[in-house]
Structure 1
């Protein structure tokens, strides 16, 4: 998907579509449960309510994340997206507990299923909507590095697998006459989405704690720095990275020969910034220039000098 992708594929617009699809699936799945009396379909409908709440919260957080940097938030508002993913994870966990409660009660008191064919058809139609939307959202999330969009897409895929599991369980119950298969499948589905919710909360916490960039992106940064070190004779150390939503950050020190003019050093630094931005789109680089052989006071004080690149080229 290209950067000049259609406007409707932008994160905020896709989340608006997600809200509409959630409302549609709530209607379809609630009707399916009302027709059949299946606790499995009831669990599926409850999950759709969670989808709606999650999509609305994600839309709000993406709107905040798109705000430009200001005096109180000089690095922008990109981390707002991680709150969205964490919130969706909590909602998923809450839905799984509610599903477990209803399914365990039905397991000890099975009830006959009615108008199963219509219920399954409505469930499959809503599943198709969710699956298609999740596929589009995953592609857009990778393009725009949107944690909120990825969280909502994962949530929708959880709903898809929930629906598939429910349909399989209901068909098995119909063919065998074992009514306990309906609540048993609901319990299995609840445990699965409980795991998914925990993973979302964990990913959100990692983002809020300034997780480093992926190893592939870090390798691109190191390669670009090493190339400049070889060509110019400078060396780099104290390279650290972090990600915040769609933005990526790298901080480093660039050590230059003492006889260089400030203007020449600044020109080299500008070239390095352009090279880093090319290998990692959206990267914000903060490069501090220092003379060869000198370190900042904080480095000398704590004795930590991580990641020295190109020093032997000096």
Structure 2
């Protein structure tokens, strides 16, 4: 794949710089703590995008002597760091909101400020859509996390504009709406931050591949080895965009090395055709030998769809 996923991060960096200027301008002309919270979140966007560019550069490095499985897990540090930065921004927003509650102030030039905020939201929305496309193409959690964060920024900004827009038609005594909206935005930002941290933690803990991908693996094995083929010890994990699959394949003891090797190649090719960036390792064992069944039934003995249903539950 000739296109580098890093170019999408550059879009995010450029958008963050532009929207930070716009939102800071909107805050300056209105003195609205709500718009200040919007500007602070954009500062987090820029910091996160710069960090994402650095970690994605590391994640794309090929495997080496000290990192035989590559550097893909670096992507999870990016989403985790972005989550932490979001939480820091939320704290700043809450602090500014409390101060504004204590000393109420009516925002000025709201019409102009809200127009600027909407323009910056349009920039973020366009950038997020482009990045989500890139995340799908490259199967990158870094691009997805940054895009989701930008979309969250868009929706919170729209909510902010709608809420502050009410103040255009209300008396000065309604000045409390400004810090109240900022507090609501802070709560939404906290939710987003914890979601990103949870996703990062999940990736670092080597969670198994999702159920639909396990079913694809099972189908690939059965499609090549026959419906009654035996396998066990199925283990899967994901590091960035790279997937790792290994299992024990039980064949007749009379099967030649050449035949076993040929079947394993067919299974590997079939799995890789269904799952991008997949590395498959197969250990062949004679099914007549009791010692072949000493492996834990990770993924289910024979990896049947029934076993997968038992492991993950009926999601329908």
TM-score (structure 2 length as normaliser) = 0.91
**Shift in CA distance, 310/228, structure 1 to aligned 2, threshold 3 Å:** farther
Q: Which residue of 1 aligns with 2:25?
A: 31
- Please give the residue correspondences for 1:153-302 in structure 2 after superposition, counting only pairs within 5 Å: 153-177=147-171, 178-230=174-226, 234-294=229-289, 300=294
Contact 2:33 2:100 in 1 (8 A): yes
Give the whole-Å Cα distance in 2 for the aligned partners of 1:102 and 1:293. Answer: 71
Q: Deviations over 1:264-290 (max 9, x none)?
A: 110111111111111212211111111
Contact 1:253 1:289 in 2 (8 A): yes
Native 8 Å contact 2:234 2:303 kept in 1:
no
Are 1:138 and 2:132 counterparts?
A: yes
User: Which residue number corresponds to residue 17 of structure 1?
Assistant: 11
Contact 2:253–2:288 (CA<8 Å) still a contact in 1? no
User: What is the distance in 1 between the residues matched to 2:14 and 2:252?
Assistant: 60
The structure-2 alpha-carbon separation of the partners of 1:295 and 1:33, relative to structure 1 and needing over 3 Å to count, comes to farther
Q: For residues 229 and 114 of structure 2, what CA distance do their matches in structure 1 show?
A: 66
Matches within 5 A, 1:20-59: 20-59=14-53
- Structure 1 unaligned segments of length 5 or more: list them: none
The answer as to 2:296 corresponding to 1:304 is yes
The number of equivalent residue pairs is: 301
Deviation at 1:295, TM superposition (A): 6.6
- Is the CA contact (8 Å cut-off) linking 1:226 and 1:309 kept in structure 2? no
Could you state the TM-score of these two structures normalised by the residue count of structure 1?
A: 0.91
Q: CA deviation at 1:234?
A: 4.3
How many Å separate the matches in 1 of 2:218 and 2:236? 11
Per-residue deviation, residues 249-274 of structure 1 (Å, max 9, x unmatched): 11101111111211111011111111
CA separation in 1, counterparts of 2:266 and 2:50? 42
Taking the aligned partners of 1:208 and 1:20, their CA distance within structure 2 comes to 29
Question: CA contact under 8 A between 2:246 and 2:282: conserved in structure 1?
Answer: yes
Deviation at 1:141, TM superposition (A): 0.9
Q: Structure 1 pair 147/310, CA: closer, same or farther in 2 (3 Å)?
A: closer
Looking at structure 2, the residues matched to 61 and 91 of structure 1 have their Cα atoms a distance apart, in angstroms, of 15
Q: Is the 8 A contact 1:230 1:310 kept in 2?
A: no
Q: Separation in 1 of the partners of 2:129 and 2:91?
A: 27
- 1:27 to 1:310, Cα distance in 2 relative to 1, 3 A: closer
Q: Give the conservation status (yes or no) of the 8 Å contact 1:96–1:190.
A: yes
Which of 43, 61, 72 is matched with 1:67 structurally? Answer: 61
Q: How far apart, in 2, do the equivalents of 1:295 and 1:142 lie? A: 44
- Unaligned ranges ≥5, structure 2: 305-316
